[in-house]
Amino acid sequence: MRILLQRVTRAAVRVEDEEIGSIGPGLLIFLGVTESDTKTEADWLAEKIAGLRIFSDEAGKMNLSVTDSGGSVLVVSQFTLYGDCRRGRRPGFDKAGPPALAEELYEYFKGKVASLGLTVASGRFAAHMEVELVNDGPVTFIIDSPEK
């Protein structure tokens, strides 16, 4: 699994001009699934993001997690995180997980994050979405689950 994580002051996702998810301060997470991913990778990433110390403390140092700061999480499915642009002019998506697996793990990941005590909003799997965000910092990380 791969996530692109952004620390935000606010973020929202819309489908067909309807806002379906939004958060204030917290994390916007774009989640990509590859064909070999399992719930083990989802568990690892959920625990990683819940404890990742990327929010500022009183001294202005990145020393607090989203959990510590009372932030929320907006999770958006993003199969293009596994797009391969190394050859030609059109990305290849051979490494992206099949839709049934990707949707199962996307839903599982959201549930796992919520089970860790975080408020979770989300996009809609396989929908054309508009995502709006205000990146705080900017602070952006790409995190891959450990290799099997």
Active site residues: 78-80
Dist CA 52 CA 116 (whole Å) = 13
- Residue 83 and residue 37 in contact, taking contact as beta carbons nearer than 8 Å: no
Closest CA to 28 of 144, 140, 146: 140
Strands 26-32 and 62-64: unpaired
Count the neighbouring beta carbons within 10 Å of the beta carbon of residue 117.
Answer: 8
